């Protein structure tokens, strides 16, 4: 039986009630296209798209948008040669590209967080899942030990930290992606009596400065910032495994990217 793009999309959205306004749309390709191979990725960069084509995937599922804007702001792309070239590659290859962001975050538990927890091997330590965060209680480790553990498990080059590296932590809040801002993280610190938050990304003078003040006041709080991609790529890898289970006859790949930043 032919597997269409729409069938795959329906299965992916199935666990969640219909979302009215969503960025999760088919950006390229047609819903009736036959799917012969699937790839997932954090963000469909030019290199990721080429790799998907090379692997024979004709449906690429990307967590973040193709063109550097959450709401697909087209104005920033006017007369933009990088955009033209990337767009041409996609159109000429005929690959279908679906953004899968809002729905996977509304899985219960959050599908992206589930992948992060699995990569960290902290599933047995989960105390609480909320729609935007997960609280774990781990055996005592220092901030620097946790930083090294996290880098090792996620295979990442560096993390940025705020707080005393020698402080011992057991209660940790995890927030993937752009949930590291003060609106979510600051109340979570207090409400859940956290020693540490590990997040993807957030404005620098919100949560990081809150932690700086807390530490200066003698409170034991710390922050580890992973990077946005670093915090969400494991979720898209995890998703590839789920999709493979749903469609065992179709080859499914997860495509990773190189680290985005270099630290000098």
Give the contacts of 147 (CB within 8 A, at least 6 positions apart).
159, 161, 165, 224
Give the binding range for a second copy (CB under 8 A) out of 105-113, 117-125, 127-135, 157-165: 157-165
Q: What is the footprint of a second copy within residues 52-111 (CB under 8 A)?
A: 64-65, 68-70, 73, 75-82, 85-86
Choice between 125 and 158, CB closer to a second copy: 158
Q: Rounded to the nearest whole angstrom, what is the least distance from the CB of residue 151 to a second copy in the complex?
A: 7
Q: For the window 208-247, what string marks contact with a second copy as x by the rule CB under 8 A?
A: xxx-xxx-xx-x-----x-xxx------------------
Task: Round to the nearest angstrom and report the end-to-end CA distance of the chain.
Answer: 53
- The response to whether 228 counts as a known ligand-binding position is yes
Q: How many other CB atoms are found less than 10 A from the CB of residue 123?
A: 11
Half-sphere exposure of 238 (CA within 13 A, CB side): 22
Of 102, 100, 130, whose CA–CA distance to 19 is shortest? 102
Kindly state whether residue 173 participates in binding a second copy, applying the rule CB under 8 A.
no
> Helix, strand, or coil here: 28?
strand
CA distance 110 to 16: 11
Distance from the Cα of residue 48 to its chain's centroid:
15
Residue ranges for the known binding site for a divalent metal cation are 63, 228, 232
Binding footprint of a second copy on the chain (CB under 8 A): 43, 45-47, 64-65, 68-70, 73, 75-82, 85-86, 144, 147-148, 151, 158-162, 165, 178, 182-183, 186-187, 190, 201, 203-210, 212-214, 216-217, 219, 225, 227-229, 257, 260-264
């Amino acid at each position: 039986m032919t597997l269409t793009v729409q069938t795959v999309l329906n299965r992916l959205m199935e666990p969640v009630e219909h979302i009215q306004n969503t960025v999760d749309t088919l950006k390229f390709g047609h819903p009736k296209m036959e799917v012969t191979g699937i790839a997932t990725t954090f963000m469909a960069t030019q290199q990721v798209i080429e790799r998907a084509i090379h692997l024979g995937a004709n449906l690429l599922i990307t967590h973040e948008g193709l063109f550097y804007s959450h709401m697909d702001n087209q104005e920033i792309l006017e007369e933009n040669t990088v955009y033209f070239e990337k767009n041409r590659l996609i159109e000429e290859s005929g690959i279908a590209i679906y953004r899968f962001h809002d729905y996977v975050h509304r899985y219960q538990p959050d599908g992206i967080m589930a992948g992060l927890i699995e990569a960290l091997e902290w599933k047995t330590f989960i105390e609480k899942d909320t729609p935007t965060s997960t609280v774990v209680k781990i055996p005592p480790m220092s901030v620097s030990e946790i930083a090294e553990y996290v880098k090792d498990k996620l295979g990442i080059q560096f993390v940025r930290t705020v707080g005393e590296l020698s402080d011992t932590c057991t209660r940790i809040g995890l927030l993937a992606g752009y949930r590291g801002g003060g609106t979510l993280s600051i109340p979570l610190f207090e409400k859940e009596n956290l020693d540490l938050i590990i997040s993807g990304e957030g404005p620098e003078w919100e949560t990081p400065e809150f932690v700086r003040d807390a530490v200066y006041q003698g409170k034991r709080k710390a922050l580890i910032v992973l990077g946005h991609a670093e915090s969400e790529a494991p979720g898209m890898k995890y998703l590839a495994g789920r999709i493979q289970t749903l469609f065992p006859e179709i080859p499914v790949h997860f495509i990773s990217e190189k680290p985005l930043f270099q630290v000098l």
